[in-house]
């Protein structure tokens, strides 16, 4: 009898209503992330979607995951305090995964995935396995399916350029600012060894992605102070 009551309590909050709420969070957070992705921001489609779904799951866990310890008109125990601490604590881990290097923001999606994984673990421990399975499936949908969607809506062309510049003038920083200002993302940066006997001029290989006119961008880069030359080394259209 006690086991039947336990199963009945554990199944509360895992109906079509809760799955619909998670789906709504998935759709709305995807729309917000889509706008960010189209503007080629660091936190784009996948990051916003993962955070939105994880937050919805945590809210549902807090609302329905502790029915077995709550009696009518009184609370025997408040385990939701532990859940709140998990949410706060996992934020520090996620923050440690995000870093900035040369105006590039790395690790946002990984941090969002860690946060979502914490939410899934909370749902499992709270007796909401159906919600945990649903959000885990949503994670794979976002990570694999949304990556293709994002590539189609944001990347019209991929181009590699080789820039020769004089060190000590801040040319690299200005190149990055110029690319970002013209809605180009820099997916890869690699230094090229200088020519023998010429230690003042350095070379930099950049892989750019964007929708604009690369020829106009090359002219703008060439006009920057400290840039000796710039040329395109490869183009890949998508």
**Can you give the residue ranges of every domain in the chain?**
2-154, 157-237
Q: How far is CA 69 from CA 73, 106, 121, 216, in A?
A: 12, 41, 19, 65
Q: State what percent of residues in the chain have pLDDT above 90.
A: 0
Could you give the 3-state DSSP secondary structure of residue 194?
A: coil
Beta-carbon count within 10 A of 43 CB: 17
Q: Which CATH superfamily is domain 157-237 in?
A: ACT domain (3.30.70.260)
Q: Which residues, listed in sequence order, are joined to residue 188 by a DSSP beta bridge?
A: 207
Outline where DSSP puts E strands in the chain.
70-71, 74-75, 99-101, 104-106, 157-166, 185-192, 201-210, 227-237
Q: Please report where in the chains the tokens 């939701």 appear, as a residue.
A: 80
Segment among 64-68, 72-76, 104-108, 118-122 with least mean pLDDT: 72-76
The Cα–Cα gap between 161 and 184 comes to 13
- C-alpha 52/C-alpha 138 separation (Å) is 11
The answer, yes or no, to whether residue 5 has pLDDT greater than 50, is no
**Confidence (pLDDT) at 226:** 86
* pTM score of the predicted model: 0.52
Q: How far is CA 91 from the centre of its chain?
A: 14
Which pLDDT score is estimated for 77? 61
189 vs 72: CA distance, rounded Å: 61
**Bridge partners of 237?**
157
Q: What distance in Å separates the CA atoms of residue 115 and residue 125, rounded to the nearest whole number?
A: 16
Give me the pLDDT at residue 69, please: 67
DSSP class of residue 141 equals: I
Helix (H, G, I), strand (E, B) or coil at 8: helix
């Amino acid at each position: 009898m006690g086991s039947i009551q336990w199963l009945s309590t554990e199944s509360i909050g895992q109906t079509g209503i809760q799955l619909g709420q998670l789906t709504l969070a998935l759709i709305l957070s995807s729309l917000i992330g889509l706008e960010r992705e189209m503007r080629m921001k660091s936190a784009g489609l996948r990051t916003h979607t993962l955070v939105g779904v994880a937050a919805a799951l945590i809210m549902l866990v807090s609302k329905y995951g502790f029915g077995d310890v709550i009696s009518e008109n009184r609370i025997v125990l408040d385990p939701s305090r532990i859940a709140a601490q998990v949410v706060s604590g996992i934020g520090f881990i996620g923050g440690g995964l995000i870093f900035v290097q040369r105006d590039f923001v790395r690790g946002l999606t990984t941090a969002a995935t860690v946060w979502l994984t914490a939410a899934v673990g909370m749902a499992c421990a709270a007796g909401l396995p159906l919600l945990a399975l649903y959000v885990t499936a949503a994670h794979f949908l976002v990570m694999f399916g949304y990556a293709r969607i994002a590539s189609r809506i944001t990347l019209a062309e991929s181009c590699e350029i080789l820039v020769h510049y004089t060190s000590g003038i801040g040319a690299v920083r200005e190149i990055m600012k110029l690319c970002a200002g013209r809605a180009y993302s820099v997916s890869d940066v690699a230094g090229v060894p200088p020519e023998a006997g010429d230690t003042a001029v350095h070379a930099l290989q950049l892989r750019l992605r964007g929708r604009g006119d690369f020829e106009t961008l090359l002219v703008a880069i060439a006009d920057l102070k400290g840039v000796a030359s710039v040329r395109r080394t490869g183009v890949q259209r998508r």
